[in-house]
Amino acid sequence: MKKLLCAAGLGLALAVSAGAQAADKIAVVNVSSIFQQLPQRATVAKQLENEFKGRATELQTQERDLQTKMQRLQRDGSTMKASERSRMEKDVMSQREAFSSKAQAFEQDNRRRQMEERNKLLSRIQDAVKKVANDEGYDVVIDANAVAYAANAKDITADVLKQVK
């Protein structure tokens, strides 16, 4: 009796899950394609470029100055007094360290801001995917880049792109 109830329960669970799987409406969306086609992406890129332009220019100036000093030291170092050469070497080393730390901070800040803006755009895309999925009655939406094969899945990329624009 116990085995019969267990078998009946297992059969019922399998039937329900198979029925639920058959009822799922599945769609695919190419998020990276939508991201590449967003007009806001160019606007954000320009905004970030303007935001970091001053620091980039300052770093380029500092780098040119450092290269000039290094070339002068290399060219004239053998004819300089030892104390003068030593002072210039220390100056070049300290300037190189300062440049390196500023460049590293610049790269980190730039990367962080790009990720913030990228995540904002991806959030808008995600909201559009949810809206299109709800409007069209899809139960599951999968990124097209994560799917090896999908025979019966509808591609909603164009619909989502319209929604985001």
The string of pLDDT tens digits covering residues 23-33 is 578 889 999 98
Q: Determine, yes or no, domain membership for 9.
A: no
pLDDT interval class at 56 (50, 70, 90): very high
> pLDDT, tens digit, for every residue of 3-41?
433 343 444 444 444 444 555 788 899 999 899 888 888
Q: What's the sign of the alpha-carbon dihedral 123, 125, 129, 130?
A: positive
Bridge partner list, 143 = 29
Q: Determine, yes or no, domain membership for 19.
A: no
Output the average pLDDT for the chain: 83
Work out how many domains the chain is built from and give that number: 1
Contacts of the segment 103-108: beta carbons below 8 A, 24+ positions apart: 103/59, 106/52, 106/55, 106/56, 106/59
Q: Determine, yes or no, domain membership for 16.
A: no
pTM of the predicted model as reported, rounded to 2 decimal places: 0.66
Q: What is the CATH number of the domain that holds 64?
A: 3.30.910.20
Q: Determine, yes or no, domain membership for 15.
A: no
Going by C-alpha positions, the residue among 126, 124, 165 that lies closest to residue 143 is 126
Question: Between the CA of residue 26 and those of 145, 158, 162, what are the distances in Å?
Answer: 15, 16, 20
Q: Determine, yes or no, domain membership for 44.
A: yes
Q: Determine, yes or no, domain membership for 133.
A: yes
Q: Determine, yes or no, domain membership for 98.
A: yes
Print the domain residue range for 88.
26-163
> pLDDT, tens digit, for every residue of 89-146?
899 899 999 999 999 999 999 999 999 999 999 999 999 999 999 998 989 888 888 8
Q: Determine, yes or no, domain membership for 14.
A: no
What strands, in cross-sheet order, belong to the sheet with 140-143? 140-143, 26-29, 154-155
